[in-house]
Structure 1
Amino acid sequence: MKTLMITVLLIGAIHLSGVSQTKVAQMSTKDWEQDLTYLQKKIKRQFKTFIPGLKEKFDSGIEALKRKVPELKPYEISCEIMRLLALLKDGHTELNVGQKMVGFHRLPLSLYFFENELYIVAAHQKFAELIGGKITHIGKYTTREAFEKLKQNMSHDNPVEFVYAGPGYLVLTELLRYLGISDHTQKVTVQIERNGQTISRTFDGLDYNTYREGPWTNYFRQYQTQTPLYLSTQGAYYWHRYLAEKKTMYLNWVRINNQKRKPSIKRYIGKLFKEIDALRPNKLVIDLRLNNGGNYNLSRPLISAIRARKWLNQPGKIWVITGRRTFSAASMACVFLKNETKATVVGEPGRTHPNKSDNNEVMRLPNTDFLIEYTTRIKKHLPKHPDWDRIPVDVAIPPRFDDYKQGKDAALAYILDK
């Protein structure tokens, strides 16, 4: 669902998708009712969950929304759909109101949570001086209060989703108005702490294209700070680098899908392990921090290659880094690595529940063209741990703003120092 060719954290967790012009402004009551009925039937027939009663609750909510459509504004209907899908308690089932078809406006900022504080990590060039500032208030509320209001509308498997996706939603002006955080649909005032000063700035919301085109700048460019290794390569689903001084092979895996016009994952892993056999590294690092899923079956060649090398598959040699973006198939790859190899997992837990969705599909509503994801198959990948809502890490190393400012990767540094 993320189509901007900008890596998360280089400009932040931008929550966007879509390619067509929005049709929302031309929607009639009948059009909305048709879309809601289409969604209702799809969920009733195809959505899967282990939790009883959720589909009935969603169905009742849709019926109530149909009755209210004539009195609601388009942005309110969109937010109501988002809220109702969140009732299904499934991180793979959502309407992302940041997609272009919804037509929401947004602040020219990219935000990221560091230790429960919300920072500006990128911005349109004209607001570059605000980068590195901490947002303390959004609209009428403190950042913490605004965040709590937002959570009620977010689909999620576990609370990690709030921290990951929340910053991308907190820049959407119509959503802020719907939540009562702001009094305007296309204008928001925020307070920012920067270098000991408090700045109050009112932003006009930008349409999708204006927001996307920028021009953008980020913290590393603005302050000429070295970009961490894991953010240094954009566009590739999988890439690696040998860190000779530390005798460590570093694999960055961003998407568990075969990339077009690139070697398949199976071929790539074969080539990688030829290098590993020749170099005999002391460690293999598998970085899944930016990986938001794909097809977990395609991770099997990596697991098999590690297991086939007893000299490598030893405690202290296989390391996995996960983070708040790690999701879906990437989380399942982490499960395989934990269960079938001697891997140690460090970083932040991902945002996937290991005993919920096993596959999801995307529906397109016929009139608005809204894209909605929904779970169509469920599986308990860790039945021995029914109470786990996430895959735990062995060593917790959350991102810290002090490290970010210096371009320091604390998770990788921990591994290299071991």
Structure 2
Amino acid sequence: MKIITASFLLIMFNFSVIAQKSNKTINWNADLEYLRAQIYSIFPNAKDRINENDFNTTLARLKSEASSLSINEMAVEIMSLLSLTNDNDCFIYPFQESLSSPILPLKTYFFSDGHYVCDATEPYADLIGEKIDKIGHYKVDELFQKLQTVIPADNIHYQRYQFSLYSQLPSFLSWAEAIENKNKVHILTSSGISKSVSFGDLSSYLKLERTLASQVGLADSQSNHEQENYWMEFWDDGKSLFVQLKAIEDQKEGNSFSDFVKEIEARIKSGKVEKVIIDNRYGGGGNGFMLNDLTALLRESKTINQKGKLFVLTSRSTKGVLLEFTSVLQLNTKATLIGEPTGEGPNTVGDRVTITLPSSKLEVQLTKLFWPTSFIFDNRKTIQPQISINYTFDNYLAKHDPWLKAIKEYNLISYEKQKPDLSTQNKLVGKYKVEGYKLKIYQEDGKLYAEVKKKLRSFFELHTELYHSKTGVLSSDIPQLSLLYEKIEGKSSLTKLEWSGNTYELQ
């Protein structure tokens, strides 16, 4: 769960002065066999997660084609092998010493209304603000479909996020047969601008700007938080506390994360905070265990842990520790999720390790450990928000944040739920087991709750209020979760847990 900083990217690119190893001296068969062994040794449950026939077929093809390909071309082909893991953290970093890939000097983004140029170096400044219609021989959507095969990811949402990078690398465009000349690419915009753009170095690319909605600060604020791992400001009427998290690790300057959480607690307890907004849209690195105190604070706050009082913002790049936190809040609070489907699922956030292929010296990232944040039978590859937004290029230009607009327009009345009657509550209280988990049903202040306690060195825990949905069915604050009950020998008892349409027997 690590993040790659801009400075690290620049350092790696500077190694390009080192001569690349000739492809003719590389023993690709040895490298590919080594990679196969490492994947099945390191990647969790590889035999269950990877289609063996597809893997072996792809591996055989790579071995047969390797002698005719450059090291950069082979790196793309290996990405097609890694894509079979369906995991974000299995990939080859394109700017490492062995590759030092050039990149187009454009900063782009896939907005809901198209793929736009947000910034560009000279002499391509006339492309800024333009919607890209074609890259090389393909329309943007056609190119995206082709590149999906070589963009390892949990889901299509993260692939769309990564498209802005991989659609600007010559080796990937050449693989997709979008270009013949690896020195430049033809760009056509929807307004009719036709331009040949040459690939440049990474250092020029890193200087380009692309600041998304509230990414470095609120639009009406004078503060800039670009260099901060976490920050907070009051928003709107001064009663809503906006908390943005990018990396859950202590900053080099300023408050530690622990002190940051204490400051949030002090503001909530002051009575001046009516809403808390947790922004999990950007970043994702750090230590998930450092979030325990913040989770407990939000869950146990009677003023904030209410419908319409706690909001979590998500995007297609929500992954890593921030995905874990999003999942934990969904399963333990009355938070309303607003935004885009996340870049990972609740049980596919992992730690990764770097392996080096012995002959080519290519460095490959592999997931070594998953940190589940939900039931083991939760197979979601993304977390869907309860309220979806569209982020358009016009929003970007105007510095409008549609996530925050959705909070202003939130209608609490449409989300009100009915408590089960006390007689039903009394009959259902007790301890149950489901698929190896201990589920506790208890009453407090006239309300009925379900709880699964966290195990040691685990992120998964569940705490939710239960509501009357219809006869024999209890709904919850968790969109995927319902509990079914029926009368057995004259007594009402819970019989099944329903999760995303699948049912599991309760004991």
User: Quick one: distance in 2 between partners of 1:377 and 1:230?
Assistant: 41
User: Quick one: distance in 2 between partners of 1:163 and 1:229?
Assistant: 30
User: Quick one: distance in 2 between partners of 1:130 and 1:29?
Assistant: 40
Bigger radius of gyration among the two: 2
2:203 corresponds in structure 1 to 209
Report the more deviating stretch, 237-246 or 395-404: 237-246
2:73 corresponds in structure 1 to 76
| Partner SS, residue 194 of structure 2 | strand
Residue 100 of structure 2 corresponds to residue 103 of structure 1? yes
Answer whether contact 2:347 2:378 (CA < 8 A) is retained.
yes
Answer whether contact 2:309 2:335 (CA < 8 A) is retained.
yes
1:26 maps to which of 5, 8, 21: 21
User: Quick one: distance in 2 between partners of 1:24 and 1:365?
Assistant: 18
Residue 328 of structure 2 corresponds to residue 336 of structure 1? yes
Q: Deviations over 1:294-331 (max 9, x none)?
A: 33222211111112321222211111101111002211
Answer whether contact 2:107 2:209 (CA < 8 A) is retained.
no
User: Quick one: distance in 1 between partners of 2:25 and 2:254?
Assistant: 46
Query: Amino acid of the residue matched to residue 25 of structure 1?
Result: Q
Q: Deviations over 1:340-396 (max 9, x none)?
A: 112111011111022334432233445655442212123553337634221111111
User: Quick one: distance in 2 between partners of 1:171 and 1:90?
Assistant: 22
Distance 1:301 1:365, change over 3 A: farther
Query: Amino acid of the residue matched to residue 20 of structure 2?
Result: A
Answer whether contact 2:267 2:273 (CA < 8 A) is retained.
no
1:47 corresponds in structure 2 to 43
Q: Deviations over 1:105-139 (max 9, x none)?
A: 22111111112511111212542332110000111
Answer whether contact 1:331 1:352 (CA < 8 A) is retained.
yes
User: Quick one: distance in 2 between partners of 1:342 and 1:365?
Assistant: 47
Residue 153 of structure 2 corresponds to residue 156 of structure 1? yes
Q: CA deviation at 1:292?
A: 2.5
1:363 maps to which of 355, 364, 375: 355
User: Quick one: distance in 1 between partners of 2:100 and 2:405?
Assistant: 42
Q: CA deviation at 1:104?
A: 1.9
Query: Amino acid of the residue matched to residue 151 of structure 1?
Result: Q
| Partner SS, residue 190 of structure 1 | strand
User: Quick one: distance in 2 between partners of 1:95 and 1:36?
Assistant: 14
2:314 corresponds in structure 1 to 322
1:223 corresponds in structure 2 to none
User: Quick one: distance in 2 between partners of 1:219 and 1:127?
Assistant: 19
Query: Amino acid of the residue matched to residue 175 of structure 1?
Result: F
2:226 corresponds in structure 1 to 234
Q: CA deviation at 1:262?
A: 4.6
2:364 maps to which of 361, 364, 372: 372
1:4 corresponds in structure 2 to 6
Distance 1:264 1:172, change over 3 A: same
Give the alignment's TM-score, normalised by structure 2.
Answer: 0.72
| Partner SS, residue 355 of structure 2 | strand
Give the alignment's TM-score, normalised by structure 1.
Answer: 0.86
User: Quick one: distance in 2 between partners of 1:415 and 1:174?
Assistant: 42
User: Quick one: distance in 2 between partners of 1:411 and 1:388?
Assistant: 23
Q: Deviations over 1:142-161 (max 9, x none)?
A: 11111111111110101101
Answer whether contact 1:190 1:201 (CA < 8 A) is retained.
yes
**Higher normalized strand content (fraction of residues):** 2
Aligned-residue CA RMSD (Å): 3.0
1:312 maps to which of 280, 287, 304: 304
Distance 1:24 1:352, change over 3 A: farther
Equivalent positions of 1:97-246 (< 5 A) are: 97=94, 99=96, 101-115=98-112, 117-193=114-190, 197-212=191-206, 214=207, 216=208, 232-243=224-235, 245-246=237-238
Distance 1:97 1:48, change over 3 A: same
User: Quick one: distance in 2 between partners of 1:140 and 1:188?
Assistant: 9
Distance 1:4 1:359, change over 3 A: closer
Q: CA deviation at 1:99?
A: 4.9
Distance 1:117 1:63, change over 3 A: same
Residue 345 of structure 2 corresponds to residue 349 of structure 1? no
User: Quick one: distance in 2 between partners of 1:137 and 1:356?
Assistant: 34
User: Quick one: distance in 2 between partners of 1:371 and 1:285?
Assistant: 39
Query: Amino acid of the residue matched to residue 47 of structure 1?
Result: F
Residue 74 of structure 2 corresponds to residue 85 of structure 1? no
Query: Amino acid of the residue matched to residue 311 of structure 1?
Result: T
Answer whether contact 1:293 1:331 (CA < 8 A) is retained.
no
Distance 1:239 1:100, change over 3 A: farther
Report the more deviating stretch, 202-211 or 15-24: 15-24
Query: Amino acid of the residue matched to residue 86 of structure 1?
Result: S
Q: CA deviation at 1:415?
A: 1.5
Q: CA deviation at 1:24?
A: 7.0
Answer whether contact 1:125 1:217 (CA < 8 A) is retained.
no
1:302 corresponds in structure 2 to 294
